[in-house]
Structure 1
Amino acid sequence: MNRKQPSLASEDNNGARVPLEEFKKLFFIGEARFLLACLSKEFDPSFIVVGKSNFEFVTAYKAIKRTKDYRGVAKSSAQAIDLLAEVKPGFVFIHERGEQLEFAELVQHIAQSCPNIRSYVIIDSLKVLEDYTKIDPDVIVADADIFLPNNPIVQGLMAMVARTTYRSPSVESYLNQIPPIAQSSSARIVLSLREQQLLEAYVLGLSNREVAEQLNLSVRSVQTYSGQLLARLGVNNRQKALIQIAKMGISVTTRFLKGDLR
């Protein structure tokens, strides 16, 4: 699949446009917050890049502030697995460019044999998702979502630090259309942005009305979302929800509540 060059402005689902220069500014600010979060959570920000494009490798190297975090590149699952035997990065950045999975073996290897390494996957086609739900990477971001104002790239990074998973808006929407039988059987819980926001509200002790004001929702909507989250966790109150999340090894950040990482 040929990758389209981004235009000077990107349009989100609501018609809002984000100039390319503004996106670059948000990315650098987001990266700085990511590195600060790594310090506070003791998360290793080093990574390797896996893909097919030499240009992409060079671009990734030039884009980051701390080049020492860039541990290497690979063009196949086999090469990446061999590289992981030599270096131990905090995460592996993978780009699936086509409609067929090329790096499923690598993601599965990370999930089964590298418990301290996270997998971050960019996909060009949503068609690969039905197979990826069976493997369950830590982060999946659709290429079409990269320029959205809420900065899914950085949200994925922050989710790794919080030891949870993240799916960008297009990915989450597509997965919601897949019959439950085809969904992943993994025991890990995938938190949506709204669920992350609610958990932060629980930590901060905010009332439903205060959450509604923060998120520009009605109180009834907050109550509905909160009830659904408690049901997913199998608990009946906020305190038990936080205890359950802690048992799952998920850390709740305080960065998502306003839905904006700027």
Structure 2
Amino acid sequence: MIRVLLADDQQLVRVGLRMLCESDPGVEVVGEAGDGREAVRLAERTRPDLILMDLRMPGVDGITATERIMAARPASRIVVLTTFDDDEHLYPALAAGAFGFLVKDSPPAELLAALHRAADGEPPFSQSVLGRLVAQAVRAREPRARAREIPELSPRERDVLAMVGAGLSNREIAERLHLGVSTVKTHVTSLMRKTGAPNRIRLAVLAARASAAE
């Protein structure tokens, strides 16, 4: 069971999110916060597995709340759910410790899938957000360094790397390649070990560089 805390200043949004979460038997809403201060308090009291955090809230905003929660509980997984996916909101949220970043117009099924991905340790990002992160990281490095950063990989590992770069989840990769999810997880772990990438975002950046070097 994934225990979720909702933090959004709009009651209608919280009602909709609660209804969506309650439609999934594997998700339980353990609390609702109308502002960042209450989110910090409820995070400490309920100790949820995931926190869905809005950014623009009165008083203590979502970025400040994220910083305070992460300072108190560094293992917390906070997924930003916001209307604003611009750089002004994205990078401060990630710097504060957000685990993922989703936009509110995400389809309901995609949002639920993102919760499960986050619970499994896969940082969820809306496609537009992931693309911007990868593009900026690629631009920030010298082109001549691209090829050197990709170690020798098996054909299957290269397939998995490319799909991670496209933003696919382990389950989606498994379906595309006709593999078990556990097998895909093993490949992703191997890719992180071989490349030294600490997370899937870094793997996605490497995938973009590998594609550009071809």
Aligned residues: 165
Instruction: Quote the residue 2:93 is aligned against.
Output: 132
Question: Of 191, 202, 211, which residue of structure 2 is paired with 1:241?
Answer: 191
State the superposition RMSD in angstroms.
4.3
* Pairing 1:112–2:71 present: yes
Q: Distance in 2 between matches of 1:194 and 1:238?
A: 8
* Pairing 1:62–2:19 present: yes
* Pairing 1:46–2:3 present: yes
Task: Say whether the 8 Å CA contact 1:122–1:143 is kept in structure 2.
Answer: yes
Task: Say whether the 8 Å CA contact 2:79–2:99 is kept in structure 1.
Answer: yes
Q: Distance in 2 between matches of 1:113 and 1:193?
A: 35
Change beyond 3 A, Cα 1:111–1:238: closer
Q: Distance in 1 between matches of 2:164 and 2:194?
A: 18
Change beyond 3 A, Cα 1:68–1:156: closer
* Pairing 1:171–2:129 present: yes
1:35-71 CA distances to partner (integer Å, 9 max, x unpaired)? xxxxxxxxx5111110111112222233313599222
Instruction: Quote the residue 2:144 is aligned against.
Output: none
Instruction: Quote the residue 1:35 is aligned against.
Output: none
**1:141-180 map, 5 Å:** 141-144=102-105, 146-147=106-107, 151-178=109-136
Identify unmatched segments of 5+ residues in structure 1. 1-43, 183-190, 205-210, 216-236, 251-262
Distance apart, 1:108 and its partner CA: 1.8
Q: Distance in 2 between matches of 1:95 and 1:132?
A: 10
Instruction: Quote the residue 2:164 is aligned against.
Output: 194
TM-score by length of 2: 0.58
Q: Quick one: percent identity of the two aligned structures?
A: 12
Q: Distance in 2 between matches of 1:159 and 1:68?
A: 12
Q: Distance in 2 between matches of 1:147 and 1:201?
A: 16
Change beyond 3 A, Cα 1:102–1:193: farther
Q: Distance in 2 between matches of 1:114 and 1:241?
A: 29
**1:187-226 map, 5 Å:** 194-195=164-165, 214=177
Secondary structure of the residue that 2:32 maps to in structure 1? strand
Q: Distance in 2 between matches of 1:47 and 1:180?
A: 34
Q: Distance in 2 between matches of 1:118 and 1:132?
A: 12
Change beyond 3 A, Cα 1:106–1:131: same
Secondary structure of the residue that 1:126 maps to in structure 2? coil
Counterpart of 1:106, as a letter, is A
Distance apart, 1:138 and its partner CA: 1.2
Distance apart, 1:139 and its partner CA: 1.6
Instruction: Quote the residue 1:7 is aligned against.
Output: none
Distance apart, 1:113 and its partner CA: 2.3
Q: Distance in 2 between matches of 1:143 and 1:193?
A: 24
Q: Distance in 1 between matches of 2:124 and 2:162?
A: 7
1:116-143 CA distances to partner (integer Å, 9 max, x unpaired)? 4311211211221132232241121123
Instruction: Quote the residue 1:103 is aligned against.
Output: 62
* Structure richer in helix, relative to its length: 2
1:147-205 CA distances to partner (integer Å, 9 max, x unpaired)? 39xx53134223212213121101112323446799xxxxxxxx995257697899x8x
